[in-house]
Amino acid sequence: MNIRQRIEKLRDQIRYHNYRYYVLDDPEIPDAEYDRLMRELQELEAGHPELVTPDSPTQRVGAQALEGFGEVRHEVPMLSLENAFSDEELAEFDRRVRERLEVDEVEYAAEPKLDGLAISLLYEEGVLVRGATRGDGATGEDVTRNVRTIHSVPLRLIGKGYPRRLEVRGEVIMPHEGFRKLNERVQAEGGKPFVNPRNAAAGSLRQLDPRITARRPLEMYCYGVGLVEGGRLPNRHSRILARLRDWGLRVYKGIETVRGLGGCIAYYEKMERVRNSLPFDIDGVVFKVDRLDQQQALGFVARAPRWAIARKFPAQEELTRVLDIDVQVGRTGAITPVARLEPVFVGGVTVTNATLHNEDEIRRKDVRIGDWVIVRRAGDVIPEIVRVVKERRPRNARRFVMPRKCPVCGSDIERVEGEAIARCSGGLYCPAQRKEAIKHFASRRAMDIEGLGDKLVEQLVDQELIHDVADLYRLDADTLAGLERMGQKSARNLIRALEASKHTSLERFLFALGIREVGEVTARALARAFGSSDGKGMSDSERARADIERLARASQEELEAIPDIGPVVADHIVRFFKQPHNREVIDKLLQAGITWPPQEQVAEQPLQGKTYVLTGTLSRMTRSEAKEKLQALGAKVSGSVSSKTTAVIAGEKAGSKLARAEKLGVPVLDEDDLVALLEQGA
């Protein structure tokens, strides 16, 4: 696997785990594993800045806003923090800060890192007018009605001197005692108890009915400010927090100002000692440069301030026994071994499962069925096995053997040489992957089936109305009209959209199939290589079937001869078409009437060899549309500016990329220049 492929793989994994953590409140991996993925991605991108893209998880904070709440665009982005996991990493942070500021010692504000849900409160003339979650850092969820039910959130500030518009940021948490009582009540009512206080707080704040939120024991602690208009605040972070407390906002009393690295370490050790006696969960300590002028001098990196860091606590561990090892099939077909454990209480919850990640990890740790193991829970639902206590290994302990067939659909399990993760190869057929396969198939850049949203897909699959993507074209308006939130008009519109989607392009169709690592660029290359350029003597359906047959018969060597297709991607394509289940679904799709026009012969493209960077907001098209138009003319669209960039195309509110272009002397084009460029190229 080359660097580009590894980066894309890491991005996909992180995006998925962001969705599980921030949107579903149902994380699959511990914080420690997520942090390892993010760190590896950051290191790879730092070494290869030309591969950084705007949609990389390193360029953003979290995941998208939940449906059901209105969107709020943060006027000042809500960034996350870099993490330190040792005193050495904390010392490195302190060294960087001192060197950039050219001082011998720095004063830091030190505070516990509360384990809850980040929230933003907007006060106008001292009155609470909006509450919003962090969301993706730029756009969050409007939870104003729910925030108003939290007693520790003042509806009107007290005192005087607060700015005309003031955004206060903090954490909504659920204290231990309240969490215990809530779970007792939930269980008494026959419900499923919450896993931990963090999930309970997040789920409570995201209730569509604020009356439910009002019954939940939520509290909020403030840790900073965002937008400030029509007024001034003190020149130190610690004094700002004191001022917020004066205005009636809740701030943790144990926040201290410490001097230098020694003060930071002493505060961390103190909080680690008292951690279990606190009335709420914390997962570390946050250190912020106290002086605001020094914060401004230090500035920001892409997703975090240079003047703050979170020193994380070590994960909590316990001893238990491995009862069995089986595998789970993820939404992308990843086969993950899971240890079934003798129940053990660790990290505040009873743990019965632990992820083993992949076959290599099992071999490396030598985990066997029957072993006694140390289990670590790093603040999330699914813990990990740290190590085996081999001194207690029973004589009958059994080695794990990865199954050859998917336990869900029976398709071959494949593991590409050089990759750690094994996968089910029945992507179009496997029930474990069904929902995600259909969502991808219907997406705008694939078959573009307007009106087929995620929730409708879930209904269709859950009610067993569709079993694969081809079944979409067997739906009728009466069946659709009977579904939740659907009526006759919506049903007829969707049927029309399904009919319209049958007339597509070969590259869109190939992208829609969801073949591993076949994105839009690779799909376009495949379409050019295997698509018919002459439709004479063939019907549309015959030509479509001939195109697919040519691709399905292609050898590994033939595929590798295509520009931008390496051995790994070629292997994925060959394996995909070898699976009978996948071929059956494709046949059903072609029988349903999906066709495309002959493949156009590609002439020399006018922007071939040129590289552009898009930044800011465009008024006449989205940046995605601009990217597609530029790529169609042969240009490369990059996410970062370098001396090799042909030009930066800057819309409104262009940020750091524009500044870097000006610093490097890279030409800057506005939207009018872009339109002229596209017209000239066309």
Q: Which tens digits make up the pLDDT trace of 227-241?
A: 999 999 999 999 999
What's the CATH number of domain 316-392, 2.40.50.140, 2.60.40.1730, 1.10.3720.10, 3.30.479.30? 2.40.50.140
* pLDDT band, residue 571 (cuts 50/70/90): confident
Q: If DSSP codes are grouped into helix, strand and coil, which group holds residue 523?
A: helix
CB 123 within 8 A of CB 168: yes
For 611-681, which CATH class? Answer: alpha beta
Task: Report d(CA 232, CA 214) in Å as an integer.
Answer: 34
The mean pLDDT of 453-464, rounded to a whole number, is 89
Provide the 10 A C-beta neighbour count for residue 482: 12
pLDDT at 512: 93
Q: Cα 279 to chain center, whole Å? A: 31
More confident residue, 59 or 210: 210
Q: Of 113, 312, 629, 657, which residue is the catalytic one?
A: 113
Provide the 10 A C-beta neighbour count for residue 539: 10
CB 334 within 8 A of CB 421: yes
- Give domain limits for the chain: 3-59, 72-312, 316-392, 431-591, 611-681
State the DSSP H helix or E strand holding residue 139, giving kind and residue range, or none if neither.
Answer: strand 139-141
Out of 168-182, 190-204, 312-326, 634-648, the most confident range is 168-182
State the DSSP H helix or E strand holding residue 422, giving kind and residue range, or none if neither.
Answer: strand 422-424
Q: Does the domain made of 431-591 have the CATH classification 1.10.150.20?
A: yes
The pLDDT of residue 111 is above 80: yes
Percent of the chain whose pLDDT exceeds 90: 36
Cα Dmax for the chain: 84
The residues pairing with 72 across neighbouring beta strands, listed in sequence order, are 140
Q: Measured in Å, how far apart are the chain's first and last C-alpha atoms?
A: 36
| Tokens read off for 463 | 């009610």
Task: Report d(CA 406, CA 393) in Å as an integer.
Answer: 30
pLDDT at 204: 86
Q: If DSSP codes are grouped into helix, strand and coil, which group holds residue 158?
A: coil
Is 113 an active-site residue? yes
What's the CATH number of domain 72-312, 3.40.50.300, 3.40.50.920, 3.30.470.30, 3.40.50.1260? 3.30.470.30
CB 333 within 8 A of CB 423: yes
More confident residue, 521 or 667: 667
Q: If DSSP codes are grouped into helix, strand and coil, which group holds residue 87?
A: helix
Pairing of strands 127-133, 117-124: antiparallel
pLDDT at 66: 44
pLDDT at 378: 53
Out of 15-24, 257-266, 302-311, 358-367, the most confident range is 257-266
The pLDDT of residue 212 is above 90: no
Give the chain's radius of gyration (CA, Å). Answer: 27
Q: Which residue carries 């590798």 as its tokens?
A: 560
Q: Cα 273 to chain center, whole Å? A: 33
Task: Report d(CA 617, CA 653) in Å as an integer.
Answer: 7
pLDDT at 64: 45
| Tokens read off for 649 | 């195309």
| Tokens read off for 413 | 């399990």
The mean pLDDT of 640-650, rounded to a whole number, is 87
The mean pLDDT of 506-530, rounded to a whole number, is 89
Per-residue pLDDT tens over the stretch 655-672: 788 888 888 889 999 988
The mean pLDDT of 302-312, rounded to a whole number, is 88
Q: Would 3-59 and 72-312 be classified into the same CATH topology?
A: no
pLDDT at 601: 60
Q: Which residues of 266-304 are buried (b: 16+ CB within 10 A; e: fewer)?
A: ebbeebeeebeeeebbbbbbbbbbbbbebbeebeeebbb
Provide the 10 A C-beta neighbour count for residue 227: 16
The pLDDT of residue 642 is above 50: yes
Q: Which residue carries 């001034």 as its tokens?
A: 232
What is the number of alpha carbons within 13 Å of residue 320 lying toward its C-beta?
25
Percent of the chain whose pLDDT exceeds 70: 93
Closest CA to 78 of 26, 119, 34, 46: 119
pLDDT at 603: 58
| Phi, psi dihedral angles at 345 (to 5 degrees) | -90, 115
Q: Which of 223-232, 338-347, 439-448 has the lowest mean pLDDT?
A: 338-347
Task: Report d(CA 370, CA 321) in Å as an integer.
Answer: 6
Angle CA 266–271–272, to nearest 5: 95
More confident residue, 648 or 17: 648
The pLDDT of residue 621 is above 50: yes
* pLDDT band, residue 45 (cuts 50/70/90): confident
* pLDDT band, residue 315 (cuts 50/70/90): low
Q: Which amino acid is located at 285 in the chain?
A: V
The reported pTM is 0.46
Q: Which residue carries 């819309």 as its tokens?
A: 651
The pLDDT of residue 682 is above 60: no
What is the number of alpha carbons within 13 Å of residue 331 lying toward its C-beta?
14
Per-residue pLDDT tens over the stretch 371-412: 999 887 754 446 888 889 888 899 999 999 999 999 888 888
* pLDDT band, residue 602 (cuts 50/70/90): low
Q: If DSSP codes are grouped into helix, strand and coil, which group holds residue 503?
A: strand
The residues pairing with 329 across neighbouring beta strands, listed in sequence order, are 335
Q: Which amino acid is located at 560 in the chain?
A: E
| Tokens read off for 111 | 């505070």
CATH topology of domain 3-59: Helix Hairpins (1.10.287)
